[in-house]
Amino acid sequence: MIQAEPIGRGVYQHISDGSSWPKSEHGGILYNKCELGAVVERGEGLGVLKDTAGRTLEELYAPYHSIIFDTRWQPTIYPGDWTYHCGKLP
């Protein structure tokens, strides 16, 4: 079936020239502040790591202007675990 308008035109695609997997310093429960595909600026808050009593242990920030490729689907984080997959944008 021929459609009236082409699909996918006008959709902007981001091109990443590198990526990183920032690691946590502490273990705890991750509370996400961003979503998959979000474009964030360097230093923007991505999430907060808290202990079981709700005290903030660590705040996680974007290492550079990036797009979020992946986040944790399980909120439990151990020290040294990756937290987000950040694709570097120009």
The per-residue pLDDT for range 14-57, each reduced to its tens digit, is 888 899 999 999 999 999 999 999 999 999 999 999 999 999 99
As a whole number, the mean pLDDT across the chain is 90
Task: Average the pLDDT over 57-65 and give the result.
Answer: 95
pLDDT at residue 53 in the model:
96
Q: Where are the beta strands (DSSP E) in the chain?
A: 19-20, 28-32, 39-40, 45-50, 56-61, 66-71, 76-77, 84-88
Domains of the chain and CATH, by start: 19-88 (2.40.50.100)
Distances from the Cα of 11 to the Cα of 7, 60, 65, angstroms: 9, 30, 20
Q: How far apart are CA 72 and CA 75, in angstroms?
A: 6
Handedness of CA 54, 58, 60, 61 (dihedral sign): positive
| CA–CA separation, 50 and 41 (whole Å) | 23
Confidence of residue 4 (pLDDT cuts 50, 70, 90): low
